[in-house]
Amino acid sequence: MTPLDLLQGYDLKHLTVGVLGGHSGLDVCHGAKQCGFKTVCVARKGREKTYAKYFRTRPAEGIHSNEWTQDNGVNGESIGCIDETILVDQFDGILDPKVQQKLRNMNTIFVHNRYFWVYFKDFSKVENDFNVPIFGSRTLLKLEERDQPYNQYDLLKDAGIRTPKIYERSAVSGQRSDKIDRPVLVKAAEAKRGYERAFFIATDEKSYEAIGSKLEKEGKVGKNWREATIEEFVVGAPVNFNFFYSPLTKELELLGTDTRRQTNLDGFLRMTAEQQALALKYVPLKMIETGHIACTVKESILEKAFDLGEKFVMATQKLPKKLDPSGKGIIGPFALQGAVVAEDGKEDIVIFDVSLRIPGSPGTFSTPYSGYLYGRSMSVGERVGMELRNAVHQNALGELLT
């Protein structure tokens, strides 16, 4: 179905922005409310209080309209950003025809995130059976996964973007042609949460086998850890470049930059070298993502970052119909995640991860880059809301949807 087919029966003057309850749901709904849209969250039972209670829309008792509320988007009548919550037993319950009909009855435009891949056993059902218009690409999300025949590494290579050396396995023999000859990052899956990665570092084949086997025995990585991606460990300042490509203006924007918080790595970094050595005897080092911190980069790096972003956008627009039936390429938010490295007296950017949808890092609002463009800092969620609002006014909503 085309985006215009999905919009049949919609009242475009009363649109609702929908999200799954997690990842970037609050950021998207806050931005949607700022731009005059209603919001709905599809939340999993047992994890719904954040949306149905703590941040639900409700009367602003004791808060009166004044200069502060007007400047900050509070109308003096209500607070919160989640207007409606639909409960499902599991996130893939959103595919239930009754749930889909509820969303359609609310004129919902859905903003997807990584949850759409992580919690759906068969992602093709999202691509083919979810009859609700999606803001962004419906099919590119799966390219984030490294086990796809054509994945983010292939896309980055086609875009001409520098990445770490990947120790690839032969599709025929399953063996690696290159032995580990430098520090590498092994992106193994956690034993308990297969969708999360339990990174570990090795320096050669011997340490690779010893560390991986030890973590498997301790139940920290899955049994298939030897199938995990192995990539060169890049030593630099980690930075996520959070971009937004507008099909309406044909312009690329840098909304903000951030870096990851990882447990328990962040705890170790707060220790002295002596304390680290002692703690490591009893507590194994882990690098499990738990959040993000806003950060900035030098202005001299910005042009390099934009160059990477523009190359990436062009590469997505050249993808074959098999990978992107819409032919639109990336729509709206995406992130190139990597590190700034210093080599031969100059800096370069190495990208080792890609988000082909809204990144889960609302802290980008605290960086100045969207403010340099729009006069004030803007969250990714608000930029999504602004794009939707502009598309409605221009009668161009179909350009943003798949």
Domain ranges of the chain: 3-135, 152-162+236-363, 184-232
The rounded distance, in Å, linking the Cα atoms of 338 and 377 is 23
Taking CA atoms, 399 is separated from 32, 87, 310, 331, in Å, by 18, 30, 19, 9
Beta carbons within 8 Å of 6's beta carbon, 6+ residues apart: 131, 132, 133, 401
Question: Tokens at residue 78, please?
Answer: 């209500």
pLDDT of amino acid 151: 95
Beta carbons within 8 Å of 56's beta carbon, 6+ residues apart: 80, 82, 83, 85
pLDDT of amino acid 9: 96
* Domain 3-135 fold: Rossmann fold (3.40.50)
* Domain 152-162+236-363 fold: D-amino Acid Aminotransferase; Chain A, domain 1 (3.30.470)
pLDDT of amino acid 324: 97
Question: Tokens at residue 156, please?
Answer: 């980055």
The rounded distance, in Å, linking the Cα atoms of 388 and 400 is 8
**pLDDT of the chain, 402 residues: tens digit per residue:** 899 999 999 999 999 999 999 999 999 999 999 999 999 999 999 999 999 999 999 998 776 555 545 555 455 589 999 999 999 999 999 999 999 999 999 999 999 998 988 899 888 999 999 999 999 999 999 999 888 999 999 999 999 999 999 898 776 677 887 999 999 999 898 877 766 667 899 999 999 999 999 999 988 888 889 989 899 999 899 999 999 999 999 999 999 999 988 888 899 999 999 999 999 889 988 777 788 999 999 999 999 999 999 999 999 999 999 999 999 999 999 999 999 999 888 899 999 999 999 998 888 899 999 999 999 999 999 999 999 999 999 999 999 999
DSSP assigned state of 132: S
DSSP assigned state of 87: E
Under 8 Å between Cβ of 355 and 144: yes
For tokens 């339990």, name the residue: 198
For tokens 């800092």, name the residue: 377
Measured N-to-C along each axis, helices 25-34 and 380-393 cross at an angle, to the nearest 10 degrees, of 40
pLDDT of amino acid 220: 85
Q: Which amino acid is at 330?
A: I
**Three-state DSSP class for residue 51:** helix
**Three-state DSSP class for residue 15:** coil
Residue (of 114, 118, 115, 116) closest to 127 by Cα position? 116
Q: Which amino acid is at 149?
A: P
pLDDT of amino acid 156: 97
Rg of the chain (C-alpha set): 22
Beta carbons within 8 Å of 247's beta carbon, 6+ residues apart: 328, 331, 399, 400
Average pLDDT, the chain: 92
Taking CA atoms, 103 is separated from 40, 86, 133, 279, in Å, by 8, 9, 10, 50
Beta carbons within 8 Å of 255's beta carbon, 6+ residues apart: 242, 243, 244, 333, 364, 369, 370, 378, 379, 380, 383
The rounded distance, in Å, linking the Cα atoms of 330 and 347 is 27
